[in-house]
Amino acid sequence: MNGGPNSFNSYIWVVDAHPEDIDMVDYVKPNGEKVMRTIADYRQLNDALFRAGLGSGSQCEWEDAPNRLHFYVIDTRKDEKGILSYTLAVRSLDGLGPQKRGVALEAQAVLKVGKPNTPVTFTLKNTGTAAETDPAAHSASVGACLNSDVYRLSVSVDGNEWTARLLNGLAAVNFGGSRKVTVYVAQDAGSSPSAKVTLRVASESDPSKVAMATVSVLK
């Protein structure tokens, strides 16, 4: 029930990124016994938020199978006032859509790694083509949101005692556009003199559209 003189009943359905029991103490009895939050406690939603990126402790995507949609939290940004905004994406689970999907990757051939977590930059290009938007089906503002593709990223490294990591496993790029993808590379004291870092990118709408690029990293 929403309060106020014009109160009305409303229901808000929350998708929980962590639907399992939050396993937190509600209160402690005088005898020292701990009482846990029940499954029906609304505070089970304290960890419900989806977050962008890898290693956030939460999820960055959710599949709504009954409605045939897949939702993504692609990225976040803050403006000069510190206001936080999210970049979200949604794709249909039914087919590729009318857009032509495509992807390409570019990177320099060799890079010297002189410090921990050295950034290695790749250029991700959306080589697909957008489909014309039907004005009768979508407004101009909605049509502008149908002009990109979502890509899933993964990185591997071939070399003893070398590591490579991504901060974000997803990227959205406009058709015909490009963006930078950064991989952070590190080495241990006993690492081999060189290694090969390979970034793999695949279209979420058409997983057959895959691109890979490899950078040789040197001590």
> DSSP assignment of 112-151, as one string?
E--STTEEEEEEEE---BPPPP-TTTS-HHHHGGGSEEEE
pLDDT band at 6 (very low <50, low <70, confident <90, very high): low
In words, the CATH class of domain 104-218 is: mainly beta
How confident is the model over 172-188, as pLDDT tens digits? 999 999 999 999 999 98
The answer to whether the CB of 15 falls within 8 A of the CB of 48 is yes
Please give the mean pLDDT across all residues of the chain.
91
Given phi > 0 = left and psi -120 to 50 = alpha, else beta, which region is 176? left
Specify the pTM: 0.87
How confident is the model over 185-214, as pLDDT tens digits? 999 888 999 999 999 999 999 999 999 999
Average pLDDT of the segment spanning 77-82 = 93
Cα of 112 vs its chain's centroid, Å: 29
Q: What is the pLDDT of residue 145?
A: 78
Domain regions of the chain by residue span: 25-92, 104-218
